[in-house]
Amino acid sequence: MAEIKWSALIIGVLGFLVAYFFDWASLRKVPGAKKLIWLLFLTLEGLALFLATWQGARFWLPTGLVVVGWVLLPFSIILFIYSLFIEIPFRKTYLDIGVGQRLIKSGTYALVRHPGVIWYSLFLLSLVLVTRSITLLVAAPVWVVMDVIYVVVQDRFFFDRMFTDYGRYRQDVPMLVPTVKSLRNCLRTLVRRRQYNGQY
């Protein structure tokens, strides 16, 4: 039986369990909690990815699929960083006490309410293709499920309390699966944002 680094999978799951407290800490305005939770989450997820990609057995893939992975990898990373660290206010979201004062509804947040899940899933898929890691092949679906559960919890228990107009946003924009309408709105608002030098 191929060697699987179960510790990598478990550490990744623990990282998401830690992240589940992030929005609670934001609402409660616990001093320093957001920074600590975010740092711990990044540390656990980084360690999990390292163990999953660089240790353990590999499986065979056609060269063409490996090339596809290399093409998708930077694409997914750029989109992930753009959605989670550029489109939304970085300091207010991840570092400052409390929650952001403004709900972002344009750009990739007009595509779906949680675009980070799409880019994270695409990132893991591309990493599986590139590394051909059996451990990551097993762990990636589990981590994606943990991410989906996380955003479901956010959607149902936190965001209505954080943003007064989130209910309307929920009605207008799909949660995770884009539609033709949401794709059109995404492209339209991205073009408008570019025309106004990022001010939308």
pLDDT at 60 over 80: yes
| Confidence grade of residue 2 (pLDDT, cut at 50, 70, 90) | low
Residue 41, SS3?
helix
Residues 6+ apart with CB under 8 A from 26: 34, 98, 99, 158, 162
pTM of the model: 0.91
Mean pLDDT of 37-60: 91
Residue 58, SS3?
strand
Q: What is the model's pLDDT at position 198?
A: 47
For residue 84, which of 68, 67, 98, 104 has the smallest C-alpha distance?
104
pLDDT at 101 over 70: no
Q: What is the model's pLDDT at position 194?
A: 66
The residue to which tokens 């990044």 are assigned: 42
Q: What is the model's pLDDT at position 77?
A: 96
Print burial letters for 120-141: b (CB count within 10 Å at least 16), e (below 16): bbbbbbbbbbbbbbbbbbbbbe
Residue 127: strand pairing partners: none
CB-neighbour burial class of residue 200 (10 A; exposed 0-12, middle 13-18, buried 19+): middle
Residue 112, SS3?
coil
Higher pLDDT, 19 or 195: 19
pLDDT at 93 over 90: no
| Confidence grade of residue 100 (pLDDT, cut at 50, 70, 90) | low
- In the chain, what are the domains? 6-195 (1.20.120.1630)
Helices (H) and strands (E) in the chain — how many of each? Answer: 11, 0
Q: Tell me the per-residue pLDDT of 106-160, one tens digit each, with 9 for 90 and over.
A: 999 999 999 999 999 999 999 999 999 999 999 999 999 999 999 999 999 999 8
Q: What is the model's pLDDT at position 176?
A: 96
Evaluate whether 129 touches 68 at the Cβ level (below 8 Å).
yes
